[in-house]
Structures are given as structure tokens and as C-alpha cells.
Structure 1
Amino acid sequence: MFEATKVGRSVSKDDYQDQQETLRTQLLAAQRDLKTANVPLIVLISGVEAAGKGEVVNRLNEWLDARGVQTFAFWNESDEERERPRYWRFWRSLPARGDISILFGGWYQTPIEYRFKGYCTDAELDGELNRIVDFERMLIQDGALVLKFWFHLSEPDQKLRLKELSRDDKSRWKMLPDKSKFSEHYAAFEQVAERVILHTDRGNSPWYLIEAANSRYRDLTVGKTLLHAIHSRLAESVNTEEPTSPLVSPELPSSASAQITLLDQLDLSLSVSRNDYKHELKKLQNEINELAWLAHNQKRSTVLMFEGVDAGGKGGAIRRITNSVDARLYRAIPVAAPTDEEKAHHYLWRFWRHIPRAGFITLYDRSWYGRVLVERVEGFASDAEWRRAYAEINQFEEQLVDRGVILLKFWLHISQDEQLKRFKDREDVPYKRYKITADDWRNREKWPQYKEAVNEMVARTSTKHAAWTLVEGNDKPYARIKVLRTICDALIRELKTEGASTSRYMPCGEKRIDG
């Protein structure tokens, strides 16, 4: 596979000088066109050691307008990164629409190194590569241009290059001596790289294999490939698909159709007496505080996500949690309409940002499910966008759970009559008026559409690793007790094996290993 990168291509110094100026001018123009078209560009730089990856990145930063380019190197993980799912560090580096991110190694670096070192099997590596393929597809479907460069050297060329670098006191090679292991076992490393490239070389995100023995040829080839890819992307027919009109229900598969009246089957008459509520509330609040500290000591993160109909009681349930837990252990994230910065990224970006560190809690008051609820019903997302969101959300939640995050999802439901009563109460009570808006009344008119969207959401995203808890909410005390009890039961179940989270997670299938 790598034979085409070992044929000895080269460019003379004069030819390089002649071509560089024109290429640089064209790249700057293409970069401006990307900005105008709001297309984010992600450039992944990978390859064998001593192939000049750093030199290439320096050259790209020289040729491009630095104001629209960010470079990220993924060496050793920071404490913050180790305490979160692996992809958290990559989501933070994704460019806004119209900008460029250059990633050293990116999401490929660690899986390659782990397989090379024998930390995971081929099957586990393939599982991680499948996740990468899904991740890149998601970014591309959202409009991103993903370019992946692999720089290669023959073994003799690599040895010669390493010998030259060893004489340079400023060489990164001297600063990171552990990298020498890859060159000492050239054939084994090449075999792993070939498996990775073949598995992830797709039509929408192909690999470009670049011969790196001659630096001038290498740099010009990268620049020309980058230019051609940008021009091809901008020349594609513009997606003129309009946001979907207010919900017209799709036909669901039989497995989902069986649950289409799921919300109708909830017993909204369930309630608790005032005395029982007070007793249970105090007991559960004490318990959840103790469990929160136990989770902190065991380095287990918790994500609590609340969705529900307007006036369904989300805020009240969240307050009963935050009033119980030490404020140093949690963050509550109210989710409203996205800001300009958030609109410039994939819709999951703003939720990845708030994933808690190990041992801490994040509460989301509304969530990533807005894509398949309000954005679907109100026509803010195209038909294709909200339909593919089910799979994207399931993959997102699976990554959280694989990393050891305790994830609980609540839907708080009330009847239409109870909602009307609460709306009127909010209008009549001065300190509650801020809670009621024209949007609330407008959404109420679309009750059947929202109910149908909720049923499909639950059917498609209530999975083994992230099941929904449906909460009967007409009686507020009952709903609050059910939420607290569900959280306590889940924490007790997840934390029963003390010290389970002190192990380290591998990127190949997120498998735990000691050390």
C-alpha cells in the first residue's frame, strides 16, 4: 500500500520557488471562499516519525491567513482530558464554520499507538475505527470538509532523517525520546498504519498518502491537494433543502410504532401525600448528597438530563437536586436558543463542552434532544438533519457511558389540562410571570405534533446504555420523588464496586486497563 510513497519524487529548489508564490496566493483566495461559504475545514496530519509533519504544519500556517487557522497537537493527555470521554478533546478543537483546524494526529494518533504497543487487539482497534468513521461522517454531513494526510518514508530514508535530527539539539525528536520505539519497529508500525488507513479511507473522507523524503515535493503536494479539495468542495451543488415545515409525521418502523402511544399510557393520576412527600424528600436528599460525594471519591462523573413539556416541572425537580448536593460538585446548564458561536458549530458541540470532569455532575435543563423535538416540529432543522440525529445522539451517549459516565435521562410529562392550569397560574402570580412566554402558548397549539415527536424520540433513543425515565408529572411532589429515587438507585447500582473508576480507559473500545 505504501509503495507509491517510496519512489523518490522530488522538486528542485528553483521549481519550488516558482510554484510556491502562485500556490500561496491561490490558497489564500480559497481560504476566503471557505469563509464566505461557511465551510469548516479540518486537516489531520499523521504519518511515520521524522516525515516532517511539524514542518508541513508550519508551512501551512505560513501560507494561510493565521487569523482563521488554529493548530492542535495531541500529545500526552492533560488531567482535564483524562477525566472525560476521549472525544471531548477533539470536539473542543473543531473549527467554527468558515475556519480551519489543523490537528497533529487527531483522533488517529492514540489508537495507532495503542495497537502498536499491544494494548488492544485488532478487533478492538477496528471497533474504534468504526467509531471514527461515524464521527467523520457526522462532521461531513454537517458541512465540514475533512482532509487526512499521511506522510510516509521508506525505512532507509527514515533512518537517515533520524540521524540528521539527532544532531539537532532543538529537534523534537530529542525532546520526545519515547517516539524512537516506532522507528525501531518500522515494519510493525507500518502494518498497523495500513490497517487503520484501509479501514477509514472513505469516499467522503479519503486519505492522501504523501511521499515525504523530499520536503519541497511534500509541501507542494500538500498545498496543491488542499487547494484542489477546497475547490471541489465549493464547486459541489449547494444543498438548497429548506427546513422542514411544521411536523408531518414519518412512518415509523414497527418496533417504534408499537410505542407510539407511550405517553398516553402514563398514569398521570399518581400522587403522594404531603406527609409522605416531606419524609421521602428529606431522606432522598440526604442520600443523594452522600452518593454525590461517593461518586466524587470514586472519580465517577454524572450527567443528568431533563426534558419535558412546557411547565412539566423540570425546574422544580432540578432544584430539589441542587438544594441537596454540595455546590462544589455540580453545574446546572440551562439550554436556550443557540448563540451565534454555537450555531457556527455542530449542534452537539455546545453539549460536549460541559461534560463534567471525573467525580463531578452536570445537569442539563433541556438538551441535545432539541434537535429531534423543537427543531423538528418548528422547522428549524431540515428533514435530513433531525432524522440522522437519532444515530448521532445514540453514539454520543454511548461514548459517555463507555467512559464511565453515569447518564440519566428524564422526560417529565403532564396532561394538557394540567399544563393549562399551570400556564394560567404563572400569569396570575407576579414572581412566576417570567416563566410564561408567547412561545409557550404557541407550542401548546402543537401538542399532537410534539407528542408524536416525543414518542419517536423515546423509541429510537431509549437504549440499553442510556434508557429514558418517563416521569408522571401532574402531581409535582410525586414527580420530584420519582426523579430523586431514580438518581439514588442508579448511583447505588453504579458505585457498588468501590474503586472501579480508578482504572484507565483505552481508546480502542474504551476498554479499561490498569496503570
Structure 2
Amino acid sequence: MFAAAELGHVLDKEQYKIAADQLRQQLLTIQYQLKDRADFPVVILLGGVPTAGRGQVANLLLEWMDPRLIATHAFSAPNDEERARPPYWRYWRVLPPKGKMAILFGGWYSGPMWDQLTSQPDSVQYEHELGKIIRLETMLADEGALVLKFWLHLPKEQLKKRLKKYANDPLTSWRFDETDLWFLDHYDEVMASQQDLLQRTNLADAPWRVIESSDERYRDIAVGTHILEAITHHMERTSVRQKRVNAAPLMPSIDGVRLLDRLPLDADLSKESYNEQLEELQGRLNGLTRHPDFKKYSVVCVFEGMDAAGKGGAIRRITAALDARQYRTIPIAAPTEEERAQPYLWRFWRHIPPHGQITLFDRSWYGRVLVERVEDFASRADWMRAYGEINDFEAQISLANVIVVKFWLAISSEEQLRRFKEREEIEYKRFKITDEDWRNREKWDAYIEAGSDLIERTSTAIAPWHMVGANNKYYARLEVLRHLCERIEAALGPQKAGKKRKAT
């Protein structure tokens, strides 16, 4: 993979000037076309051999193009804010919106690359990291993003020559450190592992571009030309989004019976019994969130279900047991202009809580496979692949000590009608009912089918769905609190959780 980048490519000053004058104008022109179209972002990842010129390339691109439309991000060891969240949180938050570019130094390759450089990584963990990278880049490409990955290459002798030159000149000695010398000493084994990494992540929609960087003029023109050609080609596509349905087909029920059709919806529970159990469960939840070990975890609660199923009421019974400084409730409506300019999971990644905190989503990322599916807001290709993307998202955050608790609150069509009419009749409840709610009711069967499919496809061992029959709102609220406590207790461990409850 690196042999073609060791051929001795060179441009003289005159060749460079002619090429650069033309290229910088073309890049600026296409950058403004990208801004005007605003239908896809460009993500540029820069990796490579030490001293190959990643910083110089980034500076040149900022000089040749409008820097107001390009963001640059470098990634060192995670800071306190980043360590308290899943590892990929810091990459999602810097993704550029449609119409703009971002230059990432290393990006999500920083972990695997550095592990390969400095140690023998755990093979299972390494394979897991590669899988995460491949799934992320595939998802970004399917969403329409243009991902350009550059490896700036230097042969061993050229690296040795540059390090010696920098070391002997006080004005350039700052350009390298001890890790660069270590790289040189272990050049052959490091490059063998890097070649494996690049080959295995050399995707059709996100290929690596290996650039010979011995000659700086050749390097700069090569990188700029690749960027220009890639953006031009992306703009010429009939659609920047992936249209293929890259998911296993849905299996319709032969007899028409769906998962949610068999869920018991009614329960017997008096208000007196409800109030008694509510106090006990809220105290239990409060004690769990004050447990010393809870600061090692965070909680994401997802509430989905039919309109008027009681999601808001259940959420309020949870928050009544919590310190107001410890939780956030995120009501999800139609995406804003800022959110539409990003991959659909972006607006949920940004709300992932740090350890010791709870976030409650009133509606969630399941809108892609529910309302967007039923209302044709998303193409079949988009919502079909979303099942796998959602499972991957939830697995990633779960492995970072985020307890994902998902509730589907279900009511009958008759109970929904009763609650709709009650909302219209009671003054202080009228804000809860809209014309859209009545329109959605006309598509009841479509929502039941979509809900059944999403539960079937996304109820995993690490983030299972808990379906609650909610015709009796008191029963549903208690069931939500009980299951939430059980999930937190399972994470803390029964002995730790039990000891804390006794202490309170």
C-alpha cells in the first residue's frame, strides 16, 4: 500500500506555481458551491508518518480556501468532560454541518493508531475498535457525507534525514519529540501494523489516499487535487445519500398478528395502592442515584409509544424523585435547521449525559424508524439501515457505562380516543392535543406495525425494550419506576444497591 508512495515524486518550483495558482482558485470555487448547495459536509482526516507535514497541509488548505467554512480539530488524551462520556462523543460533536468542511488530525483513528504505535493492543479490543470505525464511516457516507482520509507518507531514510535536520537547527527542533524518534527506531514494525489498519479500513465510500510527502510541493498539490476531484465527483452524483437498502428484510406476519397486538394493556390498581407504592419506588430510585458508585454510570431513559400513552406523566414521576441538578429532560420534536444539517444521530449524541447524570428522552432516535417511516419523511433505505445504526449507537454508549433503559407505553385505540377528548374538554390540558395528533390517529395500524418492527429489531441484550400496557396510567408509572430501579441496581450490583437502600 505504501510502495507507490516511495517512487520519488517531485515538482519543481515552476510546475508547482502553475499548478498551485490554478488549484487554489478551483478549490475556492468549489468550496462556495458546496456552501450554496449545503447538501453534504466534507470530513478530511489527516494521518501519516511524523514530520510528513499534516500541520503544513492543514495550514495551506486554510490559506487557499475560505477559513470561515473550515474547522480544524486535533485530538490528544481525552479531557475530564470527554472521559465522562462515551469515546466517540468527542468526534460526533465536531462533525461539520452540510455545506462546510472539517479537518481532523487523526480523528477516530487516534486511539487505534496510537495503540499500535506504543504497545501491543488487546486483539479483541482492537478488532472492536476497527469495527466501530468502519460502521461510523459507512453511516456517514450513507448519510451523504464525503469522508476523505489522507496518509502522508515518508520512507524510513527520508524520516531519518528530516529528524536529523530538525534536531540540528534550534529554529526547527520544536517540530519533533521523543515519540518521533521512537517511531523511527521501530519504523518497520510500525508501518506493517499501519498498513494492516489502512487496508482494513480502506472502504469504497471512505478510501485511504496515501500521499508521498518527501517533496512538499508534490504533497500539497496531490492533496489539493484529490480534494477537488472528490468533491466534484460527489456533486455529480444523482444523490449524495445512499439509496441501497443495506439491511436484512423485514418479515411480515403471515396471520397479520404483530408484536404489540399481543401486549396486555389493562391492569387493576387503585389510586390508594398507587400512592403507597409510588412513595416507596421514588425513595428507592433516589437512594440509588445517591449511591457512591452511581457516579461511575449515567442513565439514558427512552420513552416511546402512541400519543397520549402517558410518557410525560411517567417522566414526571421519575424526576420528582431526583435532584434537579442531576437530570435533564429532552423533548424531541421535528429537527431544527441546525440538526437537519447533521447526521440524524448527531442531535442525540450531543445530549448523552456525563457519569452521575440522567437524561430522559421524551421521544428519541426511534423517530427515524417510527414517524419518519410512517409519514415518508425518510426513504426506505434510510429507515431500514437505521435499525443497525441505532443498535450500534446504543451498544457504544452502553459499553461506556451508560445504562440505556427503553420504555414503550402502549394503550388501546379506545383509550387514546377517551384521553384525546378529555384533553379537549379540560382547559389546562388543551395544549397537549393538536391537529397532528388526530391525523396520526388515522394511521394507527401503520404506527403499530412500525412500533412492532422497531421493538423486534432493536431489543438487544444490552439495551432491551420494556413494553408497558398503559391503559391504567397508575400501573404504567409504577412499572416504569420499578424497571428503572432494577436496571440501575443490576449495574451497581445487588449487594451495593441493597446496602444503600438500607442506609437510607
Short-chain TM bin: over 0.9
Q: Report the equivalent of 1:76.
A: 77
Q: 1:179 Cα deviation (Å)?
A: 4.9
1:404 and 2:404 matched: no
Separation in 1, partners of 2:478, 2:292:
21
Superimposed CA distance per residue, residues 300-329 of structure 1 (whole angstroms, 9 cap, x where no aligned partner): 111111111100000000001111011111
Q: Counterpart amino acid of 1:396?
A: F
Q: Counterpart amino acid of 1:13?
A: K
Q: Report the equivalent of 1:307.
A: 304
Superimposed CA distance per residue, residues 365-385 of structure 1 (whole angstroms, 9 cap, x where no aligned partner): 100000011111011111111
Q: 1:297 Cα deviation (Å)?
A: 4.5
Q: 1:51 Cα deviation (Å)?
A: 0.9
TM-score scaled to structure 1, two decimals?
Answer: 0.91
Q: Counterpart amino acid of 1:405?
A: V
Superimposed CA distance per residue, residues 102-138 of structure 1 (whole angstroms, 9 cap, x where no aligned partner): 1000111211111333352344323321221111111
The answer (yes or no) to whether the contact 2:304–2:363 under 8 Å persists in 1 is: yes
Q: 1:86 Cα deviation (Å)?
A: 1.1
Q: Report the equivalent of 2:35.
A: 35
Superimposed CA distance per residue, residues 156-214 of structure 1 (whole angstroms, 9 cap, x where no aligned partner): 1112212233334566545x544543333111221221111010112211110011111
- For residue 310 of structure 1, give the secondary structure of its aligned residue in structure 2: coil
Q: Report the equivalent of 2:230.
A: 229
Separation in 2, partners of 1:241, 1:211:
32
Q: How does 1:107-146 map to 2 (within 5 A)?
A: 107-118=108-119, 120-146=121-147
Q: Percent identity?
A: 47
Q: 1:77 Cα deviation (Å)?
A: 1.1
- For residue 363 of structure 1, give the secondary structure of its aligned residue in structure 2: strand
Separation in 1, partners of 2:147, 2:257:
38
Task: Give the direction of change, closer, same or farther, for the CA distance of 1:212–1:315 in structure 2 (3 Å limit).
Answer: same
Number of aligned pairs? 491
1:496 and 2:493 matched: yes
Q: Counterpart amino acid of 1:215?
A: E
Deviates more, 1:136-145 or 1:32-41: 32-41
- For residue 448 of structure 1, give the secondary structure of its aligned residue in structure 2: helix
Q: Counterpart amino acid of 1:23?
A: L
Deviates more, 1:270-279 or 1:386-395: 270-279
1:198 and 2:196 matched: no
1:252 and 2:250 matched: yes
- Select the residue among 249, 263, 266 that pairs with 2:263: 266
Task: Give the direction of change, closer, same or farther, for the CA distance of 1:18–1:483 in structure 2 (3 Å limit).
Answer: same
Task: Give the direction of change, closer, same or farther, for the CA distance of 1:297–1:240 in structure 2 (3 Å limit).
Answer: closer
Q: Report the equivalent of 2:287.
A: 290
Q: Report the equivalent of 2:218.
A: 217
Superimposed CA distance per residue, residues 344-385 of structure 1 (whole angstroms, 9 cap, x where no aligned partner): 111100000000111211111100000011111011111111
The answer (yes or no) to whether the contact 1:212–1:218 under 8 Å persists in 2 is: yes
Q: Counterpart amino acid of 1:100?
A: M
Separation in 2, partners of 1:427, 1:7:
76
The answer (yes or no) to whether the contact 2:140–2:343 under 8 Å persists in 1 is: yes
Separation in 2, partners of 1:85, 1:258:
42
Q: 1:257 Cα deviation (Å)?
A: 7.1
1:8 and 2:8 matched: yes
- For residue 46 of structure 2, give the secondary structure of its aligned residue in structure 1: strand
- For residue 460 of structure 1, give the secondary structure of its aligned residue in structure 2: helix
Q: 1:272 Cα deviation (Å)?
A: 1.7
Separation in 2, partners of 1:239, 1:184:
44
Superimposed CA distance per residue, residues 66-109 of structure 1 (whole angstroms, 9 cap, x where no aligned partner): 11110110112111111111111111111111110110001112
Q: Report the equivalent of 2:17.
A: 17
Q: Counterpart amino acid of 1:388?
A: R
Q: Report the equivalent of 1:506.
A: none
- For residue 136 of structure 1, give the secondary structure of its aligned residue in structure 2: helix
The answer (yes or no) to whether the contact 1:94–1:101 under 8 Å persists in 2 is: yes
- For residue 303 of structure 1, give the secondary structure of its aligned residue in structure 2: strand
Q: 1:253 Cα deviation (Å)?
A: 2.7
Q: Counterpart amino acid of 2:250?
A: L
Q: Report the equivalent of 2:463.
A: 466
Separation in 2, partners of 1:410, 1:474:
15
Superimposed CA distance per residue, residues 364-411 of structure 1 (whole angstroms, 9 cap, x where no aligned partner): 110000001111101111111111111111111110111121100000
- For residue 208 of structure 1, give the secondary structure of its aligned residue in structure 2: strand
Superimposed CA distance per residue, residues 265-298 of structure 1 (whole angstroms, 9 cap, x where no aligned partner): 1221213222221111111111111111227644
1:350 and 2:347 matched: yes
Q: 1:57 Cα deviation (Å)?
A: 0.6
Q: Counterpart amino acid of 1:47?
A: G
Superimposed CA distance per residue, residues 32-71 of structure 1 (whole angstroms, 9 cap, x where no aligned partner): 2222332210100001111111111111111111111101
Q: Counterpart amino acid of 2:137?
A: E
CA root-mean-square deviation: 2.2
- For residue 150 of structure 1, give the secondary structure of its aligned residue in structure 2: strand
The answer (yes or no) to whether the contact 1:260–1:456 under 8 Å persists in 2 is: no
Separation in 1, partners of 2:226, 2:78:
31
Task: Give the direction of change, closer, same or farther, for the CA distance of 1:168–1:420 in structure 2 (3 Å limit).
Answer: farther
- Select the residue among 359, 373, 380 that pairs with 1:376: 373
Task: Give the direction of change, closer, same or farther, for the CA distance of 1:297–1:406 in structure 2 (3 Å limit).
Answer: closer
- For residue 315 of structure 1, give the secondary structure of its aligned residue in structure 2: helix
Q: 1:252 Cα deviation (Å)?
A: 2.6
Separation in 1, partners of 2:313, 2:32:
48
Separation in 2, partners of 1:482, 1:257:
32
TM-score scaled to structure 2, two decimals?
Answer: 0.93
- For residue 306 of structure 1, give the secondary structure of its aligned residue in structure 2: strand
- For residue 493 of structure 2, give the secondary structure of its aligned residue in structure 1: coil
- Select the residue among 451, 455, 466 that pairs with 1:454: 451
Q: How does 1:307-456 map to 2 (within 5 A)?
A: 307-456=304-453
Q: Counterpart amino acid of 1:194?
A: Q
Q: How does 1:138-157 map to 2 (within 5 A)?
A: 138-157=139-158
Task: Give the direction of change, closer, same or farther, for the CA distance of 1:305–1:180 in structure 2 (3 Å limit).
Answer: farther
